[in-house]
Amino acid sequence: MAYTFTNNSCNPWLDRTAPCTIGSHVVYAINATDPTHLQRGISFAKRHNIRLVIRNTGHDYLGRSTGAHSLALWTRNLRSMELLDYRSSVYTGPAIMMGAGVLAIEAYRFADSHNVVVVGGNCPSVGMTGGYAQGGGISLLSSVYGLGADQVLEWTVITADGELVTANSTHHPDLYWALRGGGGGTFGVVVSMTVKVFPDTYTSSAAITVPDNGANIDAIYAAFKAFITTQLPTLVDRGIYIPWVLTPAGFHLEARIAAGLHKDELDGLLQPTLSILEDAQLEYNYSSFETPTFLGTYEGAPGASNVSDYVTGGRLISRSALQSDPDGLVAALRHIGSQAFLTGVSFNVNTTRSGMSPDEVAANPYFRESIFNLFFGLPIDYQDWDINLARMDKITNDDLNQLEKVAPNGGAYLNEADIAQPDFQSVFYGNHYPRLERIKQRYDPDGVFYAKTAVGSERWEERENGRLCKVKAPERNVGDKVVKYSERCDLLWDYRTRRG
């Protein structure tokens, strides 16, 4: 769980006289090892008007894996996996059925034991079936096969009325569509998902680092601009997953996963990037390697960074934005990166590459135009919560505005974004939001499932005193929102106003 959503409760860096309460953490959790446990939990919460939280690993930058005064449906121990010979009208071939608690590394190792690969996340401890796949799912293999959501053939899911259903292209197709990128924690409790898998292959990886040793920052950003405008499109179009990090005085780039490319091929593809650095007279370190399998390369490459102690924001950057105003985009990145942790994950999931049209799954259609997901953050101050609130405001009202100027009317990856993103409905979900709202109303008309910035979350209002109140008649205005409240409210923590 991101530290932002601990509500500063029981902070070990504060004076021992500071309050120590359970804060925004769930009060109780049901350790589900069978779907009936989840069904009984839903029934109990509805009967007693208790807030529900769907939780597997807790990985969530936007606070959706916790909630004050809530009951958690903990799915981590639904961990079965099975290799299938899947047959349907839309796909025939190998697939893996995995329970809701399966982690990325567990799925990768299971797939490896069967000589196949599965599309999953970068972090080994992220759950496969929850917010990852249900939020779209950027993958190490996205530039080869598409998003995590693109691979889903079938879900088993418990709806708000407690019914266990199968959702696929022929049964409950609307729910099947919504769960493929329309956001986790709001349409139902997923028990398992079935996804396509692909033949394993040799995989290479490389890393380039311009060290923080007093290098000319102007030269670094000039070289970075040359890289993203002249080399990055070619690299992702060859199927390479490329994360990069800009620091106030350095630059790190990885061709993290190049499936189906030998080391010498990858070295050749990256030579023009090395030439850019040499022409800029920037010192760099370069390394590369190859293994016979995806898993071997994944486990041999550097791991993902921990950014749970940052307040974060994010934005998808399209190819057209990169091409139309590269100077403006790099200037915005330099503005953000002068103070923040700044990273990008580059990929190609357009229709030609992924085989998916923008409307075939519920994931933000802006993905299909994007060349990288930008993710940035400012460090948490563990002793002065007002500093954290100011940093959150900077991300919302300064950094994101800088990006809006150079990439107007864009989108964001709802799993790596700003919790206070204005107009999140269009930014996170694009033109899919009205359809998602209708599906939410069909399967959860009473709002049994709630998560921050999720579809249907605007039916609830978080008050400054920590109460979650159902909105009777919301009216969206350009200025302040006008709402009417019901008489009954459930207690809920408000991270923006409470400080310990």
Question: What is the CATH number for 385?
Answer: 3.40.462.20
* 194, 208: one domain: no
Residue 330 lies in a domain: yes
How far apart (Å, rounded) are the C-alpha atoms in residues 385 and 391?
10
Please indicate, yes or no, whether residues 166 and 273 belong to a single structural domain of this protein.
Answer: no
- Nearest residue to 294 via CA among 111, 461, 24, 450: 111
pLDDT at res. 204? 98
Asked if 495 contacts 9 with a C-beta cutoff of 8 angstroms, the reply is no
Question: Based on the domain organization, do 93 and 155 belong to the same domain?
Answer: yes
Per-residue pLDDT at 463? 67
Low-confidence stretches of the chain (pLDDT < 70) are 1-3, 6-7, 214, 304-307, 463-467, 473-500
d(CA 246, CA 399): 15
User: How distant is the alpha carbon of residue 297 from its chain centre?
Assistant: 23
Amino acid at 355: G
What whole-number distance in Å separates Cα of residue 435 and Cα of residue 356? 18
Residue reference for tokens 């800088």: 402
Q: Based on the domain organization, do 178 and 35 belong to the same domain?
A: no
Q: Cα torsion for 48, 50, 55, 59, to the nearest 10°?
A: 180
Q: State pLDDT tens for residues 256-285.
A: 999 999 999 999 999 999 999 999 999 999
Q: Total structural domains in the chain? A: 4
Separation of alpha carbons 137 and 403, rounded Å: 22
Examine the fold and report which residue of 184, 199, 214 is the final residue of a domain before the chain moves on. 199
* Residue 492: per-residue pLDDT: 36
Among residues 58, 74, 90, the one where a domain terminates is: 74
pTM of the model: 0.92
The answer to whether the beta carbons of residues 413 and 346 sit under 8 Å apart is no
Among 429, 455, 476, identify where a domain stops. Answer: 429
Closest by alpha carbon to 346, among 196, 155, 146, 143?
143
Do residue 270 and residue 390 come from a single domain?
yes
Tokens of 499: 């400080």
The predicted pLDDT at position 305 comes to: 66
Answer yes or no: is 477 within a domain: yes
| pLDDT at residue number 167 | 99
Which residue range(s) make up the domain with 297?
203-429
Q: E strands within 76-211?
A: 81-87, 92-99, 116-117, 152-158, 164-167, 189-196, 198-199, 203-210
pLDDT (0 to 100) of residue 213: 73
- Kindly state whether residues 372 and 434 are assigned to the same domain: no
